[in-house]
Structure formats: C-alpha cells, structure tokens
Chain A
Amino acid sequence: MNGVQQATPVVLISRFVVAVLALIWLIFSFYPVFYVLFSSFHPQQGFLLGEVWLPPTDPTFQNYADILHAGFFRYFLNSAIVTVVSVLCIASFSLAASYVLVKVTTRVSRTIFSVVLIALAIPLQALIIPIYTMIYHLHLYNTYLGLILPSIAFGLPLTILILVNFLRDIPNELFQAMEMDGVGEYGMLAYLVLPLSVPAIVAVCIYQFIQVWNNFLFPLILTESASMRLLPLAVVAFEGQHSIDVPGVMATVVLSALPLIVTYIAARRSLLGALASGFAGGSR
C-alpha cells in the first residue's frame, strides 16, 4: 500500500495468517476445477470406483479423441463467431450508453437507467419462448444472427451497470477542458472516455465472453441443425437417455473452457497493466 512496514511480530503474524487463509481459499476455490480437469482423463471404466477424489491412476486421452472426432471444430467455430461478435457489440453499445447515462442528468436519462435495471431481475427462462417466437418470425431461426442478437440484448444490463459505476469517476474537469478545446460529444467518447475506461471494458468483455460462450439456453432453443450447434450443446451430447459419460462430459467442458482460460490470461495482463496506472493516479 505504501512504503515498507516495520517487521513487528504483529505484522509478521498477520502476514502469516493472511497467507494461510489465502492458501485455504485457493484449495477451496480451485479443487472442483481441478476435479473437472483430472476427471477428463479418467477412462470410462470404473469411474466411481477407487479413490474418487484423486487423479486417475491410468489416465487416458481417449475422451478427448472421441470429442475431436465428433465435429468439435465446427461447434468451436460457431461458438467463436457468435461470442466474439456479441461481445464486441455489447461492449461498444454499453460504453456509448453508459457515457450518456453518466454525463447527462435529465429525468429521461435517469428513467432509462431504471429501465436498464429491470432486465437484471428477469430470469432468462421466463422470456425464452417469446424470444423464440420473435426470432422465428424474423426468419432468423437457426442462424448466427438469431443467436447473436438476443445474446447482445441480455449482456447489456450488467455491462451498463458496471460501466456506469466506473465512468462516473472520470472528473468533470477533464470533460470541461476538452469542451473548451472544441471537442464535441462523440470526440469525448472516442478520445477521453474510451482510453480511460480500458480496464473496465476489458473486465466486462471477459465476463460477457464467458457468459455468451457458456450460454446453453439460446443455442438449445434457437438452433436446430448440427451445423449450427454451439459448444455447450456438444457438452450434453455425452448425456444419454439413461446415463452420463462423466469423463466424456468433463473432457468436453475442458476443451470448451480452454479458449476462455487463454482469453482470460491474455486479457488480464492488459487489464492489470491499465489498472496500475489508472486515471486516478499513482500505483502503490
């Protein structure tokens, strides 16, 4: 936080306690993920026998081989297209809207903000049938656009909420200074708001990427053919009428999460880099 703290016993003990707590939380938060990982290497035979909570004694890649043969790349591509386009749109539309909502304080803008909040309180399942009907009548059923448009709509509320919280801290003085220089509304957005809000944008992009990538209900209801299938549906392909091939499901899940993991690690660097300088000054 600031300079060097003196290494008094109290400080040392508290650091030790903190370290232990951090370790406990690490085990607790990561173990289930670890479980998913090593189960994916477990052979189908005897999955629930032996020491269930340790990695398998005879790991195999067969589960992964099975999935890759089953058209994984097509699903991956479909998911990638839908997710990337959706996230780009969510981020840009939300940023533009948040900018307006934060900087304009008329009643209209406050009402719009309240309307945005409505959507947070609705479960997706409640609206899926009307959306399905609408998509079908727009002739977008079983198309990329038919998946992208609703995904954008449902990614907007949370993103706007978070961006609003972030943008409000950009001091008015900066805006006023630019205004004096003759910069218009769109210029402010492009040259002031956008550069300063990179950390927040990256954060919401990561989150929305995960949400859209893993969304199961939209592809289920809004698509039909195997060529339009998205990854979450591929996961359930291992769930039969009477039983689930658990190692198979786990392998699909891991493959499906790989892009997320990669994106997250890559984006984090820029996220933290941007956060470190921040627009409010000084790192600690």
Chain B
Amino acid sequence: MVVAEVATVRAGLLPPPLISPWEDAYASERPMYRKMTWKLFLLLVPVLAFYAVFIIIPIIDSVRTSFVSWDGLKKAVPVGLHNWIVQLGSAELYQSFGLTLIVMVLSWVVQTPLSLSIGLFLSRSGRGRSTLSVFYFAPLLFSAAALGIAWGFILNPNFGLAQAVLANVFGFKGTLNLLGDPKVVLYTLIGIIAWEFIPFHTLLYQSAARGIPASLYEAADLDGASPAQKLRYVTIPQLKNTVITSTVIILTGSLTYFDIVYILTDGGPGNASRVLAMDMYQKAFEQYQLGMGATIAVILTIVGLALSLLLVRTTGFGRMRSQMEGA
C-alpha cells in the first residue's frame, strides 16, 4: 500500500498522490513552511510564555543565587565567585560528577537494549502481549516514595525477598548487602532506576515500531530477507530517531534524577551514591547552603544542555526530517 494512501483516506480528504515511497521524488526535503508567519508564531506563544515565566526566569534567578551565600532565612550576601571557586576546586564535586557519569552511561547501556527488545516484542499484535504490556507498564504508575519503600524491603539483608531467594533457592551463604555496601550501591540504584523507566522507553519503541510501514517489510520479504536481516536493515534504521529521543531522555533524566536515590540511600552509605542531583539537594535543602546548591544546579544544566545539543546536532535529529525519507 502506498504510504500516504491510508492516511488520506482515513482523514477523509483527498485522493492519494501517485507517488510510491521508494522513488526519489518522494524524499523531498523542501520544508513545509519557509518562514514563520504570525499565525504560526501564535501557536508557539503559550509554550514560550510558560517557558519564560516558569523556566527561564527561575534559571536566571538560580544563576544569581550561585553568586550569593544564603541559608534560606537571612538576607542573601553576595560573595562573587566564591561558591564557584569552592565547588570547582572541591574533590567532592568531581566525585559526584564521576558517579553521575557512571549512572548516565550505564543507564543507557541497560535501558536501551532492554526497552528496544521488549518494545519490539510488544509491538506485534496478540492478546497475550497486550495483557503483558499492562503489567510491564505498572512500575510507572506508582510514585517514587512507594517504590522506594518496596525496594528497600525487598533488598533488606535480613528480611528481604532477595536475601530469602538467594539463600533458599540458590543456597547462597552470605548476606546480600546491595544497599549497605558502598562498592555496590550505585549499581543497585542503576538497576532500580532502569526497572522504573524501562516501561516508558518500551512504550516509545512500541509505538514507533508499530508505525513502521508494512510495505517496507513486504519489500524486504520480496528480497528474501531473514527475520534477523529484517531487524537489522528495516526495523532498527527506522527507529533511529526514536533511539535518539530516548537517549536524550535517558541522559538528561539520569543527570537530574533524584527521587529513588533520596529515598533509598540519601547519597550514602557515606558518599557512595551521591550523584550530582543528590549533592545539589543536600547542599541546598539539608545543609542550607543555597548558594552552593545553585552552583551545582547551574553546572547540571550546562552539562545537560551541552549533551542534548551535541546529540541533536551530530545526529541530524534537529533537522526534522522524516526517517522515512531514506535516511
């Protein structure tokens, strides 16, 4: 079937254009609108307004706060670059940064292949699969507070399920100390965060996979492609943009992630899981050094923005071309 035909027929509009998806003429790069008319701009106004008021202004305020010393109560005292010098010179900051990097990279490594596989698996129709996907999606529906408590109990070295299973089913003699061992705790958290967010990325891949036109697979069949080859030459390339979207979300999300770390370990034991967002929170809301906290927040923002922009530019994501245009 021609790509556009179903859509236009569904929309009940015009007869389909007579172009097939495989002809070069289809891959038109001519943008739809060459310039911004005032009518189009009007559509952007709500978003811009909310951004300006609730995001841009607070960011500016945050940057300003990074140049003062403030405990939340007294009047803020300007201290120039003092906070910046202290933070950038402190080993603690780099340690937090290192921990955060580990979380970012490993989160991607764990979450992407799993979400991709499960998303593809669920994208095929079948009653069993749709019931399954309801259960798979369940972790997303619950707040971090509840899940934190639940995982805390599951991993408890004395009462928890994990310990019980390991001891009784696998005959493990020692104690499973996933949250109390500083060497291991970060990886435990990465696992739990992955558990919480894989459903979301699965949904992204699932929707995207279902959107791949059947005609592409039919064409591949005609060429005698095996399932593995179809996966490699049709499915994955078509999902390229979704992978980028998902990657941006994983990287920025793990950069700023806070909830479960706070509940399960509060940055501990010691400093073993004190990622940047945790560091920021502790400085701002536990030690009441809001200037220092703001400094870390600004660093976080700059890093996150740089990463996103880098990703978007180098992969051509920002050019807004359809992936069906023979990318």
Contact = CB atoms under 8 A, between A and B. Distances in A.
The answer on A and B forming one complex is yes
Interface of A: 1-2, 5, 18, 22, 25-26, 28-33, 35-36, 39, 48, 51-53, 89, 93-94, 96-97, 99-106, 108-110, 112-127, 129-131, 133-134, 149-150, 152-154, 156, 158, 160-162, 164-166, 168-178, 181, 184-186, 189, 191-192, 195-196, 199-200, 203, 207, 210, 214, 216, 232, 235-236, 244, 246, 249-250, 253, 256-257, 260-261, 264-265, 268, 271-272, 275-284
A171 to B, nearest CB: 6
Given A120-B308, A235-B145, A30 B138 contact: yes
Given A104-B40, A125-B277, A283-B214, A118 B301 contact: yes
A123 B303 contact: no
A279 B33 contact: no
Interface stretch (B53-61, B80-88, B174-182): B53-61
Given A1-B230, A28-B195, A196-B7, 18 more contacts: A32-B150, A33-B139, A97-B43, A99-B43, A119-B55, A121-B304, A121-B305, A123-B256, A123-B258, A133-B61, A164-B320, A171-B3, A207-B200, A279-B10, A280-B6, A280-B324, A281-B5, A284-B214
B271 interface: no
B218 interface: yes
A281 B213 CA distance: 6
B252 interface: yes
Contacts of A35: 150, 153-154, 161
B138 A33 contact: yes
A115 B308 CA distance: 11
A246 B159 CA distance: 15
B258 A130 contact: no
Contacts of B215: 281-282
Interface stretch (B91-99, B105-113, B241-249): B241-249
Query: What band does the interface of chain B fall in when counting residues whose beta carbon is under 8 Å from A?
Result: 35 or more
A122 B40 contact: no
B68 interface: no
Nearest to A132: B58
Given A29-B136, A103-B33, A281 B214 contact: yes
A97 B46 contact: yes
Contact of B285 (A110, A121, A125, A130): A125
Given A104-B36, A207-B200, A171 B4 contact: yes
A185 B57 CA distance: 31
Contacts of B321: 168
A284 B217 contact: yes
Interface string B155-179: 0100111001000000000000000
Contacts of B74: none
Contacts of B304: 118, 120-122
Chain A interface helix/strand/loop/mixed: helix
A148 to B, nearest CB: 11
20 contacts: A1-B227, A25-B118, A33-B139, A39-B150, A53-B164, A100-B44, A104-B34, A106-B35, A121-B255, A125-B280, A125-B285, A129-B290, A150-B54, A174-B11, A192-B13, A253-B142, A253-B143, A257-B141, A280-B211, A281-B1
B187 interface: no
A257 B137 CA distance: 13
Interface of B: 1-8, 10-11, 13-14, 17, 19, 26, 28, 30-37, 39-41, 43-44, 46-48, 50-51, 53-55, 57-59, 61-62, 72, 118, 121, 124-125, 130, 132-147, 149-151, 153-154, 156, 159-161, 164, 195, 198-200, 203-204, 207, 210-215, 217-218, 221, 227, 230, 241-242, 245, 248-249, 252-253, 255-256, 258, 277, 280-281, 284-285, 290, 293-294, 297, 300-301, 303-305, 307-309, 312, 318-324
